[in-house]
Amino acid sequence: MISSVVRASLLRRGVGIRAQSTWTQVKMGPPDTILGITEAFKRDTDPRKMNLGVGAYRTDAGSPFVLDSVTQAENQLLHEKLDKEYLPITGLPQFTQAAAQLAYGSSSPVLDRLAITQSISGTGALRIGGAFVQRFCEGTPTVYVPGPSWGNHKAVFGDCGLTVKPYRYYDAKTRGLDLEGMLEDLSNLPRGQIVLLHACAHNPTGVDPTPDQWARIQSVVEENGHVAFFDMAYQGFATGDTDRDAHALRTFVEAGRAPVVLAQSFAKNMGLYGERVGTFSVVGASRDERARLESQLKILVRPMYSNPPVHGARIAARVLTDPELRSLWLSEVKLMADRIIGMRVALRSRLEKLGSSVAWNHITDQIGMFCFTGLTAAQVDRLAQEFHIYLTRDGRVSMAGITSANVDYLADSIHAVTQ
């Protein structure tokens, strides 16, 4: 620091003095993993390059896919020349009602006691949900997430002031579900913890419990008084059937023996990535409890972002409530799911035809957008350096980035690094 005498002299001579920045102590944060993969992919000039890191659907030509049902809904809305007024704090009622019916079932008895708010896609739903359980669950609850889980879960819940810990989920040896480890961990938790469950298409592993396994998981959650916090980012995107993909959520709710909350996203199944459309909901015990829950959701949302954006919610509401558009949308959801399933079959088939010594059945056993290949970090590095194929270093592949034109090249490259 300069002395007051020197400072005064400099000021008399008109010499400006830059004050020390208030933000000098702010350190550079670590780069985002997925962003780093995308940047490396963009720098690569090889025509064979593949980006298998980004979790966004692509057509078989490798292009972003705007659903026809979404385009038609948007055109209808533009023709109607609707206003751009603020939505209520909890969002567009036509959207939240339709979203609740999609998730819980159109004839679900809980719909009239469901507290629901529109959210800033699935991430925003998780943020509202984290704030809700932090404020209203008794004691000091911990959120337990699958090991591994979507990378943002820890950050979102941590920023809500919650402790985040893993429970066993993925078995690296079988590349499948460690059911017994999961059940043991959930049974040994202190009573009344928050258990995060991926409703379908687990990210990043692609490993989902079977209906019988879900029944055992549900029993343990209920017996130990845990709160079931479902994250449903891929309804319809896993199997192509929105009802089938909601099986776990609905069986928990129908039983009514465990508290259930839900974070729901329309980024993947409607391709509304940039529109940020989602919901957060809490199953209440009665209509009176629903009113109290909704009042508190409004109190949480108001200082976060006041109220949600309107355009994407209008699109989703129109698609879900117009019979023709809904039918078209469901066919498009199945088309996306079927293409990814087809790429799984093609990748596994090619690897097996190459005579690989590695068992690749897990490629087709897993489901949804991602495949946990079992590739090591060193093998992933080789794929990038030698074959221009980019994915996360835990071996997660975005199946949506594979096409009929590049699947053989991918298989040949994987075969080369795993021999």
Q: Count CB neighbours of 216 within 10 A.
A: 15
81 is catalytic: no
What is the 3-state composition of the chain as percent helix, strand, coil, each rounded to the nearest 5?
50, 15, 35
Query: Between β-strands 370-372 and 396-398, what pairing exists: parallel, antiparallel or unpaired?
Result: antiparallel
Among the options 231, 245, 329, 360, which is catalytic?
231
Dist. CA 213–CA 98, nearest whole Å = 29
Among the options 150, 214, 329, 360, which is catalytic?
150
Dist. CA 114–CA 284, nearest whole Å = 6
Among the options 178, 185, 245, 268, which is catalytic?
268
User: How does DSSP assign 314-343, residue by residue?
Assistant: HHHHHHHHSHHHHHHHHHHHHHHHHHHHHH
268 is catalytic: yes
Residues 6+ apart with CB under 8 A from 61: 403
27 is catalytic: no
Give 42-75 as a 3 state SS string: HHCCCCCCEECCCCCCECCCCCECCCHHHHHHHH
Q: Count CB neighbours of 373 within 10 A.
A: 24
Cβ atoms of 277 and 244 closer than 8 Å = no
Q: Which residues are catalytic?
A: 150, 231, 268
